[in-house]
Amino acid sequence: MASFKKPDLHSFQGRAQIAIIFVTVCFLILLTRLVWLQIINHSKYSTLAENNRIAIVPAPAMRGLLIDRNGIVIGRNYSALTLDVNVSEIQGNVDQLVDDLSEIIAISPRDRRNFKRSLEDARNMGTFPLRSMLNEVETARFMANRYRFPGVEISSRNFREYPYNELASHMIGYIGRVSQKDKERMQSEMNSPTESEDGNELKNAFLPGIQYVGKIGIEQSYEHVLRGVPGYDQVEITAGGKPIRTLSSFPSKPGKNVILSVDIKLQYLVEQLYGNFRGAFVAIEPATGDILAFVSKPNFNPNDFVEGIDSVTWKELNESKSKPLYNRPLKGLYSPASTYKPFMALAALELNMRSPSQTINDPGFFTLGTHTFRDEKRAGHGIVDMEKSIVESCDTYYYLLARDMGVNAMHDFMKPLGFGQRTGIDLEGEVAGILPSTAWKKTAFKKTEQQKWFEGETISLGIGQGYNSFSILQVAHALANVVNDGVVMKPNLVNAIEDPFTRQQNLITPKESYRINLKRENIEVIKKAMVATNQTGTSARSFKDAPFTSGGKTGTSQVFSLNSKEYNHASTPEFLRDHALFITFAPAEKPTIVIALVVENAGFGGQHAAPIARKALDFYINGKWPKEIPEWKRAP
């Protein structure tokens, strides 16, 4: 007969307690997780859930206009038809869709690259342009085949346009598609505690709505003003990304207009006068620092860059010997040559090293040790005082002056005038140039034997050669500082910021940087000598019968060392020929305009640079237009 063991109640109760403890721990874990998700991290996961339900559709802002001092629009927007693809409605492969569309509408490799980049940046959500600026034939062809391409539409979009093409391109700059570097910079601006001109509006801007930004020129330096504040729509979507309804809308705010100090007609005239020559030209209003013309030749068409420049055009621009992408007034460095002599003469007066009547006897050369420095006039200029040294451009006078003054005294006098210093103009990328001194040479060269300053190096500085290396902007700025009686005004390209709706202008007040303690009588000596230069001196032919009184100084800058050989312009390779320079101011009684220019590899300054300045002054002062230059035509 079988026997049964009596159940162990104590053992059963133990197992039950273990099970209860296990279930309780699991419940507490679930409860803790629930508290963590629903209370502590509620905001985070609520936002994630909401983002899965709501899509943000950016609305780019209309970019502000660029307008010259006389109200002429030189940077504007226009509306054109684009082929847009709504990725969320596309069924199948996007690349295949593009291939199918290319059978009825021309889609370039550049269009494909830009489209793919937009998709990657936005994680394949939203509507993106595939082809811009469709013509009537292309539009009709797509509409006839529209049923084949669900999710593809034709819409109207705004584009940037520079109606005068190459004109003033280095000054205006251009816009281009936002790069990753641009995004990081803008994000940094928005997170910065420093308020911009737009204040909190910039911080609240919606980055995906900023599709284009200024890359160079005014478009870049005034980007925060021109781009406005993008808007956006909050759209409810399905799990598949299909829009259901618009929940809210935040309209964009257009950018402000930028009113420039530049006279675009004067700019056009000067660019035409240069013809096929290369060079730089800067005109400044001394009393305000307003830039009246900012010319860099050759230039380029900024419209080519807006939607992404094609490889052929880029190669032509980038590999050209003429360097059309090089901003010469801002970055080009030149020896000032004889245009430096009026500043040297002023230094001699201010430092009590020469008087206006003090003379030298010029035999046509100056010898230091075993080296002979020759004058341009081989027979010499005879008896030379300060005025004659400027009018006839006597090198020997300034060889002697440089020796007596020394490199450091020259440096200390020229630095406040602006030589070898950034002017602070409202463009990015300005170079400082070289104003030599003994201290400069010690830092510029690595080898000890190269760091020593030799007296012979000082002599060439007196005639604007040697290590002297300045931008044309700096030379114009320095002359403006002198004729403005030592009052230094910061050069500026923008006069005002204009509200696009009210047309109310917020004027940008000219900024006085500092004052140089110059004696008025010394300035008048230099101005008088420069006036005589335009009347009887090296630039007299260009200023014959001028209806106004002006002062000037020519210069011819060596591009390479002759090593005591005779210079022959015709037999010298083009890019090794001398540069032609000229500086001028007018009217002499109270200058309203100062000009500095260089015509690269042209030769004598009086022959090739002075005539450009004369015709520019004729127009600016008297409104006279040269017969040989096509008349200015306002863009439609």
Predicted confidence (pLDDT) per residue in 287-312, tens digit? 999 999 999 999 999 999 887 787 88
Share of the chain above pLDDT 90, in %: 59
**What pLDDT is stored for residue 35 in this prediction?**
77
Residue predicted with more confidence, 295 or 560: 295
3-state DSSP percent of the chain in helix, strand and coil, to 5: 40, 20, 40
Q: What gap in Å lies between CA 8 and CA 16, rounded to an integer?
A: 13
| pLDDT at residue 511 is higher than 80 | yes
Least confident of 104-113, 256-265, 441-450, 573-582: 104-113
pTM of the predicted model as reported, rounded to 2 decimal places: 0.85
Residues in a beta bridge with 39: none
**Over 70: is that where the pLDDT of 346 sits?**
yes
Instruction: Report whether pLDDT(261) > 90.
Output: yes
Q: Torsion angle of alpha carbons 528, 531, 535, 539, nearest 10°?
A: 130
With b for 16 or more beta-carbon neighbours within 10 A and e for fewer, the 56-95 pattern comes to: ebbebbebbbbbbbeebbbbbbeeebbbbbbbbbbeeebe
Residue 245 confidence (pLDDT): 75
**Mean pLDDT, the chain, as a whole number?**
88
Rounded to an integer, the average pLDDT of 305-324 is 88
Rounded to an integer, what distance in angstroms lies between the CA atom of residue 179 and that of residue 75? 22
E-strand spans in 316-415?
360-362, 365-368, 371-374, 382-384
Helix (H) or strand (E) holding 587: none
Is the Cα dihedral 478, 481, 484, 489 positive or negative?
positive
Taking alpha carbons only, the member of 111, 479, 139, 66 closest to residue 282 is: 479
For residues 506-525, average pLDDT: 94
Q: Is the pLDDT of residue 452 over 80?
A: yes
Cβ count near 631 (within 10 Å): 7
Domains recognised in the chain with CATH numbers = 56-89+100-135+151-260 (3.90.1310.10), 264-622 (3.40.710.10)
Model pLDDT for residues 104-146, shown as the tens digit of each residue: 888 888 788 777 776 765 555 567 788 888 888 988 998 998 8
Q: Active-site residue among 338, 460, 469, 550?
A: 338
Window from 163-167, 198-202, 460-464 with minimum mean pLDDT: 198-202
Residue 561 is among the residues annotated as catalytic for this protein: no
| Confidence label for 350 from pLDDT (cuts 50, 70 and 90) | very high
Q: Higher confidence at residue 487 or residue 177?
A: 487
Element (H, E) at 176: strand 174-177
